[in-house]
Every structure is written in C-alpha cells, then in structure tokens.
C-alpha cells in the first residue's frame, strides 16, 4: 500500500470584471479496490454551494455558480489516497477467444462509444504498424505494443499543442503532451478493435522517479480486456497505469473528462494557472475566511436534472 497526499490548484485571472459564472468540476477521484479515498476537500473562492451528480460514464460531477462581479477564481482540491497493487491480465487465456469476445461487445451500451475511430490522414500508416495476423497475440499484448509505438513515434514537448489540437495537427508535428499521446493511442487501439477510453487524473511519482506529466493534470488510456476488465496504459511514459496514477474520470475524449470548465457573463480575457503537488501532508483544513472546505466524503446536494441533461448530451 502506498499513501499519497495531493494538492491541485486551478486559478482563473480575468483582465476585467465578470459575473454570473457557471462552472462544472470533475475533481472527485474514483474510489475503487485499488484507489481508496481517505479524505477529500474542495476550497472555492467565495464558498459557493456545490451540487453533484453522476454522468453517463459514471464520473462524479460538481456544479456551482458565482453571481457577483469578480475577476479571480481559485479552486483547490486536496486529496489523501491509499493505493494498492493493481492486478494485470493473465496471458495464458486464449487470445482468439478474447478477440471474439471483443467483437461481440461493439453493440453493448457499456462499450459501443469506445470503438469508433476518427477519419484522418494518419490511419493508413497506423494500420500498417501491426502485422495482418496480430490476433495471435492477446489484446493486452497488442495494447502494450501500441503504447510503446506511440512513445517511440512522438516527442514529448510542452507548449506546442493544446486541448483542442486535432489528430492531424499532432500527426504532422510528431510531438505533444499527455493528451496528444493518449488521443493517438486511443485511435490506434480502436483501429485494431480494442475498446479504449480517455482517462483524466494525476501522475504521482516517488522522489527518485522521473515521469513526464507531473506538476499538472495527466492523461492516459484504458483498454478493455475480456474477463479481466479495464487496464490503464500510459503512452507518455510507456508504462502501465498502476501505483503512480490517480484516476479522476473517464470518457471518450478530453471533453468528457475536463477537470474544470465553465462560462461567465462579461467581456474579458482569462489566464489559467494550474499546479499539482504531491505529498503535501499538512495541507488539510486550510484556514481562510473566503475559502472554507467542502468535505466531499459527506453527503452533498444532488442534481438529478443536470444528470439527465448530461446523459442526453453524452449519448448524442
């Protein structure tokens, strides 16, 4: 077991006053057998009321509003987590039966959104990465091969792309950051018939580890392996998403998993500053008259209307 203390700060600076801000947050870590949430606090400027619901993909979503004029917003998420060893698929299972199982899941409501791949100019090259008889290997082995291919084909470089960069742009540049590596791997896995989904979260290396993507939110990919379940692959670091990864949310792409997004009324340019730190052991119970903690392990207001609306939008 490994214990992780994590602090995620998001700040919005506006160059003029705005009002009537509506925000959505997906800052609630997944609670599972491998990721136990011991404590979670949210601090938001002016302490707005937060309502929560679960979206179509099972992610916990919070919504809040700020009605008064303001030119600054800060959101702090503090998490204490216990992580346990993640089991991996057994390679002894018949690979052909696994591929047959995957082909039958394409019409399942749980998986059909994770099969379609985009049309783009790089598809022809991607389809040549694996041999014709690739199904003699298991989907897990193929996933590992594709993960390594992305790691080797693309250069990790910050500031070249953004969350709206297309596959074509990333393909031409042959570089990017975690979201770009993940989008390419998702495309590759789906081309070869493996359901895959985008994961938003954090990477929390130990002091002696050198992982790309620390200091900010991180993205990786999960592929579905019959009998076993979802397995995390991190193409940015060419590794399995295990003891160094903290999962927040999943979806088809970044838009389904964005940690913070919203709208406001006003004419202003906004500057965003994000910072993620790990092992901040004494950061809980921050005393600030304008930012009181929301203890997310307690019961919260639920918004069923927002949940139903989001279900419809995500299905469309």
**Do 64 and 11 reside in the same domain of the chain?**
yes
Selection from 165, 231, 219, 167 nearest residue 194 by Cα: 231
Can you tell me the distance from the alpha carbon of 16 to that of 9, in angstroms, rounded to the nearest whole number?
22
State the Cα–Cα distance between residues 187 and 130, nearest whole angstrom: 14
Using the 3D structure, point to which of 180, 212, 241 is the last residue of a domain.
Answer: 241
87 DSSP assignment:
P
Domain boundary (241, 275, 291) is at 241
Residue 206 pLDDT class (50, 70, 90 cuts): confident
Measured between alpha carbons, how far is 211 from 98 in angstroms, rounded to an integer? 32
DSSP-based three-state secondary structure for 185:
helix
Q: What is the pLDDT of residue 25?
A: 97
Specify the pLDDT at position 244.
87
**pLDDT averaged over every residue in the chain:** 89
The per-residue pLDDT for range 207-237, each reduced to its tens digit, is 657 789 888 899 999 999 998 999 999 999 9
| CB neighbour class for 272 (10 Å; exposed up to 12, middle 13-18, buried from 19) | exposed
Give me the pLDDT at residue 298, please: 42
Is 104 found in the same domain as 227? yes
123 & 57 share domain: no
Q: Are 60 and 302 in contact (CB under 8 A)?
A: no
- pLDDT category, 278, cuts 50, 70, 90? confident
Q: Is 284 a residue whose pLDDT tops 80? A: no
pLDDT tens track for 2-38: 899 999 999 999 999 999 999 999 999 999 999 999 9
Lowest average pLDDT, out of 16-25, 223-232, 291-300, 306-315, goes to 306-315
CA–CA separation, 27 and 8 (whole Å): 9
What is the separation of C-alpha 279 from the centre of its chain, rounded to a whole number of angstroms? Answer: 21
Question: Is 205 found in the same domain as 100?
Answer: yes
Does residue 296 share a domain with residue 216? Answer: no
- Residue 230 and residue 33: Cα distance in Å, rounded? 13
Alpha-carbon span 199 to 55, nearest angstrom: 15
pLDDT tens column, 38-53: 999 999 999 999 999 9
Q: Which range, of 49-63, 282-296, 297-311, averages the lowest pLDDT?
A: 297-311
Query: Same domain for 145 and 201?
Result: yes
Q: With respect to residue 229, please indicate whether it lies within any of the assigned structural domains.
A: yes
Alpha carbon dihedral 7, 10, 11, 14, in 10-degree steps, equals: 180
CA angle 289/294/299 to nearest 5° reads 145
Q: Give phi and psi for 6, each to the nearest 5.
A: -135, 140
CA torsion sign, 30 to 33 to 35 to 39?
Answer: positive
Inside any domain, residue 221 = yes
pLDDT over 50 (residue 315): no
Please give the pLDDT value at position 265: 95
Neighbours of 206 (CB within 10 A): 12
Q: Tell me how many domains the chain contains.
A: 2
Q: Which pLDDT value is given to residue 91?
A: 75
Residue 248 belongs to a domain: no
Q: Which of 222, 213, 190 lies closest to 103, judged by CA? A: 190
Same domain for 135 and 222, yes or no, is yes
- Residue 105 covered by a domain: yes
Average pLDDT over residues 140-150: 97
Determine which helix (DSSP H) or strand (DSSP E) holds 190, and give its type and residue range: helix 178-191
Lowest mean pLDDT among 124-128, 271-275, 302-306: 302-306
Nearest to 250 by CA among 158, 170, 186: 186
**For the whole prediction, is pTM greater than 0.75?**
yes
249: in domain: no
On the question of pLDDT at 310 being above 70, the answer is no
Q: Using 50, 70 and 90 to split pLDDT, how confident is the model at 292? A: low
* Structural domain span for residue 70: 2-83+259-315
**Per the domain annotation, does 225 fall within a domain?**
yes
CB-based contact 29:41 (threshold 8 Å): no
| Residue 31, CA distances (Å) to 37, 62, 83 in order | 6, 16, 10
Burial 284-306 (b: 16+ CB within 10 A, else e): beeeeeebbbbebeeebeebeeb
The verdict on 267 and 236 lying in the same domain is no
CB-based contact 123:117 (threshold 8 Å): yes
pLDDT above 90: percentage of residues in the chain: 76
Q: CATH number of the domain at 209, please.
A: 3.10.620.30
Average pLDDT over residues 158-183: 95
Q: Check whether residue 49 and residue 138 sit in a common domain.
A: no
CA-CA distances (angstroms) from residue 43 to 31, 59, 262, 292?
20, 20, 17, 6
The answer to whether residues 37 and 112 belong to one domain is: no
Retrieve residue 152's tokens. Answer: 């080797």
pLDDT tens-digit readout, 78-105: 999 999 988 888 777 789 999 999 999 9
Within-domain flag for 214: yes
What is the structure's pLDDT at 213?
Answer: 85
Residue 169 maps to a domain: yes
């Amino acid at each position: 077991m490994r214990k992780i203390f994590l602090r995620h700060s998001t700040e919005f600076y506006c160059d003029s006053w705005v009002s009537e801000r509506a925000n959505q947050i997906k800052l609630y870590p997944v609670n599972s057998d491998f990721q136990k949430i011991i404590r979670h606090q949210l601090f938001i400027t002016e302490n707005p009321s937060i309502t929560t619901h679960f979206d179509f993909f099972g992610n916990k979503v919070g919504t809040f509003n700020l009605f008064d004029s303001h030119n600054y917003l800060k959101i702090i998420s503090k998490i204490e987590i216990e992580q346990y060893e993640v089991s991996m698929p057994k390679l002894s299972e018949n690979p052909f039966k696994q591929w047959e199982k995957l082909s039958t899941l394409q019409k399942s409501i749980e998986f059909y959104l994770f099969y379609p791949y985009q049309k783009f100019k790089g598809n022809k090259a991607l389809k040549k990465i694996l041999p014709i008889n690739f199904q003699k290997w298991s989907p897990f082995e193929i996933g590992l091969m594709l993960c390594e291919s992305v790691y080797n084909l693309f250069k990790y470089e910050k500031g070249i792309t953004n969350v709206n960069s297309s596959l074509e742009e990333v393909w031409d540049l042959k570089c990017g950051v975690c979201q770009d590596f993940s989008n390419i791997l998702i495309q590759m896995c789906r081309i070869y018939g493996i359901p895959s989904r985008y994961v938003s979260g954090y990477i929390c290396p130990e002091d002696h580890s050198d992982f790309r993507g620390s200091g900010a939110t991180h993205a990786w990919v999960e592929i579905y392996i019959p009998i076993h379940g979802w397995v995390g692959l991190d193409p940015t670091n060419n590794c399995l998403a295990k003891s160094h990864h903290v999962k927040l949310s999943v979806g088809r792409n970044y838009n389904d998993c964005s940690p913070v997004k919203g709208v406001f009324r006003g004419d202003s340019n906004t500057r965003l500053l994000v910072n993620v730190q790990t092992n901040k052991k004494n950061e809980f119970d921050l005393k600030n008259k304008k930012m009181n903690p929301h203890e997310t392990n307690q019961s919260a207001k639920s918004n069923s209307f927002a949940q139903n609306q989001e279900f419809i939008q995500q299905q469309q």
